[in-house]
Amino acid sequence: MTDSDKPSSISSPDDAGERVARGRLFVFAGPSGVGKDTLIRELVGRWPFYLSVSATTRQPRPGEVDGRDYIFLTDEEFTTWVEEERFLEWARFSDHRYGTPREAVEQQLAAGVDVLVEIEVQGAMQVKAVAPEAIFIFVEPPSLEELEARLVRRGDTDDMEARLERARVEMEMADEFDHRVVNEVLSDAVAGLLSVVARPEGSQNDQPAD
Ligand code: 5GP
């Protein structure tokens, strides 16, 4: 059985009208600063997918747009979303909370669209518990020293020690993932990712479900 044949536990197809083969759920994790955003930008146009927009309680960084980069929520709003079970998963990171809104992910999967969620490792493990059929990809830096250098280059030095400690913990979880991609040479990492997301020939979306 390939990843794409496995049944999904997130939601079932709509029985009314035509049945659409479900999209596949990809979970993309790896330490902060490893270059996940750059890699995702490289995938645009080479693979049709929906990128989940997370909610967070952190403040927007310069240039970030509400609803595009993140859904920026107050602490109270985030708590309400948790209580209303609107998150597929959520986790704390650097004194803030981050979560994947469930509804958009489910809608896209049901419409047959592949979905990519870019989250930290704790959240990825939660997704594994509710959607074990998802495909888990861990992006790692060539080394922790290189990761630190990248965080410095992007000016992300505020809570550097905490981020590096977190990175160490995250890298210890890498074995839990289906695929590992080292982001050293960008083009190699992109090629590695494309080979993971490529739809196997004869997979569910090449033919009608049922
Ligand atoms: P940043 O504040 O740098 O944008 O993100 C910090 C960390 O939060 C990154 O490792 C990122 O992958 C993670 N993150 C972003 N959105 C989510 C989410 O919806 N859920 C979880 N669990 N982590 C997220």
Question: Residue 184 maps to which CATH number?
Answer: 3.40.50.300
Please tell me the predicted confidence (pLDDT) of residue 207: 40
153 lies in some domain: yes
Report CA(32)–ligand 1 centroid distance (Å). Answer: 8
58 lines ligand 1 (CB under 6 A): yes
Going by CA atoms, what residue is nearest to atom 22 of ligand 1?
Answer: 123
What is the mean pLDDT of the segment spanning 9-36?
Answer: 78
144 lies in some domain: yes
pLDDT of 13 higher than 70: no
Among 56, 69, 78, the mutation site with the greatest number of ligand 1 atoms within 8 A of its Cβ is: 56
123 lies in some domain: yes
118 lines ligand 1 (CB under 6 A): yes
Going by CA atoms, what residue is nearest to atom 6 of ligand 1?
Answer: 32
Of 35 and 154, which is predicted with more confidence?
35
4 lies in some domain: no
Going by CA atoms, what residue is nearest to atom 21 of ligand 1?
Answer: 119
Total number of domains in the chain: 1
pLDDT of 16 higher than 80: no
Residue ranges making up the domain that contains 120: 22-197
Which residues, including other chains, have CB under 8 Å from residue 131's CB and lie 6 or more apart? 8, 9, 10, 25, 88
Report CA(81)–ligand 1 centroid distance (Å). Answer: 17
123 lines ligand 1 (CB under 6 A): yes
The strand ranges marked E within the chain are 25-29, 50-51, 55-56, 71-72, 87-93, 96-101, 115-118, 135-140, 179-182
Of 20 and 21, which is predicted with more confidence?
21
Give pLDDT tens digits for 91-112.
999 889 999 999 999 999 999 9
179 lies in some domain: yes
13 lies in some domain: no
Report CA(106)–ligand 1 centroid distance (Å). Answer: 19
Residue 153 is which amino acid?
A: R
Report CA(98)–ligand 1 centroid distance (Å). Answer: 6
68 lies in some domain: yes
pLDDT of 12 higher than 60: no
DSSP codes, 115-134: EEEE--HHHHHHHHHH-TTS
Are the CB atoms for 8 and 131 separated by under 8 Å? yes
Please tell me the predicted confidence (pLDDT) of residue 8: 45
100 lines ligand 1 (CB under 6 A): yes
Report CA(159)–ligand 1 centroid distance (Å). Answer: 15
38 lies in some domain: yes
